[in-house]
Structure 1
Amino acid sequence: MSTLETARLRLEPLRDEHLDGLHALNSDPEVMRYISGEPETREQTLAVIARVKARWLEVGYSWWAFVERDSGEIVGAGCLQNLRREATPLPDPACPLEIGWRLRRDAQGRGYASEAAVAICDFAFDARHADELLAVCHPDNVASAKVMQRIGMQPQGLQHWYGKEVTTYRIDAATWHANAATRSARPAR
């Protein structure tokens, strides 16, 4: 399991010790508005952690907790996972790779999503040798779409993933590596 470091964050593969911070994130109805539309119970968050730990062992990638380096607090979570046409719980390596993220409300608008997304993309393209990455969001989730654009992803329009129509963005490995200098010159926000 890979821990990733950025200037302000440590991305730690989800584990049992993250339960309180992750549950605080996933039980916030505003954070979950565009993801599931429902806050999670503590039991659901515990089940997520168990599934994620198994995925790390099975496929070598999954969800990270975004731990703020200065405070040690969980400020968000993000993933590298396989997209699915329907909302099935098992990873399907035949499906394209997706990056995703969510942040605590008080951590939004500070550039953490972009900072973490870059680290996850670097991991996907360099360590996992991905050919392409996709990212999806609810069509009304403008903030998430801006992160996708900021890191160089290109819009693909509405596509059917997870049993619903979502705005889809894409970037391939060649474009990611070609834009590395430009990306590092930009501020994180």
Structure 2
Amino acid sequence: MEFYLETERLILREFRESETEGIFELDSNPEVHKYLGKNPITTYKQAEDIITFFEEQYKERGIGRFAAFEKASGEFIGWSGLKLNTGEKEALNGFTNFIDVGYRLIPKFWGKGYASESAFACLDFGFKEMNYDIIYGAADVENIGSNKILQKIGLQFVNEFGYKGVDVNWYELKKSDYGK
């Protein structure tokens, strides 16, 4: 299955090797990683590995993060999408084998509504095309922007939990509540 989603201002599609430079710009930025463990990447090889990981997710898990592009400029802005988290290594808040919605944008694209616009499209795809029953989200308690986005797109706060020394908010949205 090839993934391609379009919104009013964005195109979301499967990652390609050609996005290595964009991933490096995104994930080498300390500001982007402020609430992600403060461990930005430092090499293009790491950026290539990230894209390989996304490609493996498409093949092995049937879903993954999408490369996001601004329609007006054609620029790579970051990623948004759904991820199937499996096994103990990807467990979160006591959950394994769950779908989460996520987004990560290059800072010059922050504050334009792109994260919520792309996340809405991903939720729609997840519930209507992939037929998921529930989609989760998580954000560092101190990441006000990400918490606002998860709430804006309809996810409901469930609880706060600790993860690697950080307090994290856990959200969920059930298919039966989607669009209400």
TM-score by length of structure 2 reads: 0.89
Partner deviation per Cα, 1:159-184 (whole Å, 9 max, x = no partner): 3567864211111101114x2xxxxx
Instruction: Identify if the C-alpha distance between structure 1 residues 84 and 136 changes in structure 2 by more than 3 Å, giving closer, same or farther.
Output: farther
Partner deviation per Cα, 1:14-48 (whole Å, 9 max, x = no partner): 11011111211111110111123111132111101
Determine the structure 2 residue equivalent to 1:31. 32
Instruction: Identify if the C-alpha distance between structure 1 residues 88 and 152 changes in structure 2 by more than 3 Å, giving closer, same or farther.
Output: closer
The number of residue pairs the alignment matches comes to 175
CA contact (8 A) 1:21 1:73 kept: no
3-state secondary structure, aligned to 1:35? coil
* Mapping for residues 82-101 of structure 1, pairs under 5 Å: 82-83=84-85, 87-88=89-90, 95-101=97-103
Partner deviation per Cα, 1:98-149 (whole Å, 9 max, x = no partner): 0001111111111000100001101111111100111001110010000011
CA contact (8 A) 2:140 2:166 kept: no
Determine the structure 1 residue equivalent to 2:13. 12
CA contact (8 A) 1:2 1:12 kept: yes
TM-superposed CA distance for 1:87, in Å, is 4.3
Q: Match for 1:21: what amino acid? A: G
What is the distance in 1 between the residues matched to 2:85 and 2:166?
12
Tell me the C-alpha RMSD between the 2 structures.
2.2
Name structure 1 gaps, 5 residues minimum: 180-189
1:66 aligns with 2:48: no
CA contact (8 A) 1:85 1:162 kept: no
CA contact (8 A) 2:61 2:84 kept: no
Determine the structure 2 residue equivalent to 1:176. 178
Q: Match for 1:159: what amino acid? A: F
Name structure 2 gaps, 5 residues minimum: none
3-state secondary structure, aligned to 1:29? coil
Partner deviation per Cα, 1:49-103 (whole Å, 9 max, x = no partner): 11111110122210111100111111121231124685449xxxx5111000111
Determine the structure 2 residue equivalent to 1:135. 137
